[in-house]
Amino acid sequence: MSLSRQRMTLIGIFALFIGPVILVMLMRSAWWQYQPASLKNHGRLIQPPLQLTLDRTTDTDGKWLVLYLLDQPCEKVCIEHVTALRQIHRAAGRHAEHLAVGLLSLKPVEPELGARLKTIYPEFELLADPAATAVNTLALINTENSNPTHTYVLDPMLNVILAYGVNSNPGDIHKDLRRLLKWSDQEKTR
């Protein structure tokens, strides 16, 4: 074997083992900055997440929560939004057991409205916030954005993760939830 062929073989082996190390060092350096063109989520990501204080039932404690600010009286548009939330919960499929849907009101829900909402979907968790602590925290999100939000996704520790505007597409909320719940399942299996 000629001397130049031996050198080429030695250089090839060197590049095969040292090349990936150099590539990793470059990727970890400040010189190489990768930023995705856009995020996959449809809702507005809340950073840093805001933590809410809510009194939840033991059945829904520790679950992801889709929270809707309930207008009282709940008229046609409100009923349409609530019905869409029912569909989002049903569409969660096998992940529905890890998801709850909460309707938050500033004052206790009137019995007539509560019965009407429970006929739409018995799984709704009716939450009252008479001290307005949760609503005031959610109002911080609205001050940052001109598009008022009414629907929120909270993690099991009641941190507000995503916020959706009044005219948000329920399909977009479902896609975000599906991704979050799938990721959450993967984290539990680790």
The CATH number of whichever domain residue 90 belongs to comes to: 3.40.30.10
Query: Per the domain annotation, does 98 fall within a domain?
Result: yes
- Categorize the per-residue pLDDT at 147 as very low, low, confident or very high, splitting at 50, 70 and 90: low
Query: Per the domain annotation, does 39 fall within a domain?
Result: no
* CB 99 within 8 Å of CB 89: yes
Are 166 and 114 members of one domain?
yes
161: three-class secondary structure by DSSP: strand
Are 71 and 93 members of one domain?
yes
Q: Which residue has the higher pLDDT, 1 or 116?
A: 116
Whole-number Cα distances in Å, 10 to 14, 22, 44, 67, 158 = 6, 18, 53, 63, 58
Q: Above 70 in pLDDT, residue 46?
A: yes
Distance between CA atoms of residues 129 and 188, nearest Å: 32
The total domain count for the chain is: 2
Query: Per the domain annotation, does 54 fall within a domain?
Result: yes
Are 151 and 58 members of one domain?
yes
Distance between CA atoms of residues 190 and 185, nearest Å: 9
Distance between CA atoms of residues 44 and 78, nearest Å: 21
Q: Above 80 in pLDDT, residue 130?
A: no
Are 4 and 49 members of one domain?
no
Query: Per the domain annotation, does 93 fall within a domain?
Result: yes
pLDDT at 111: 85
Are 93 and 172 members of one domain?
yes
Per the structure, the complete domain to which residue 11 belongs is given by: 1-34
Are 153 and 94 members of one domain?
yes
Output the average pLDDT for the chain: 81
Q: Above 70 in pLDDT, residue 60?
A: no
Are 96 and 12 members of one domain?
no
Are 6 and 67 members of one domain?
no
Are 130 and 155 members of one domain?
yes
Are 171 and 103 members of one domain?
yes
Are 19 and 72 members of one domain?
no
Are 27 and 58 members of one domain?
no
**CA nearest neighbour of 69 among 145, 129, 114:** 129
The beta strands (E) that lie in 37-79 are given as 44-51, 64-69
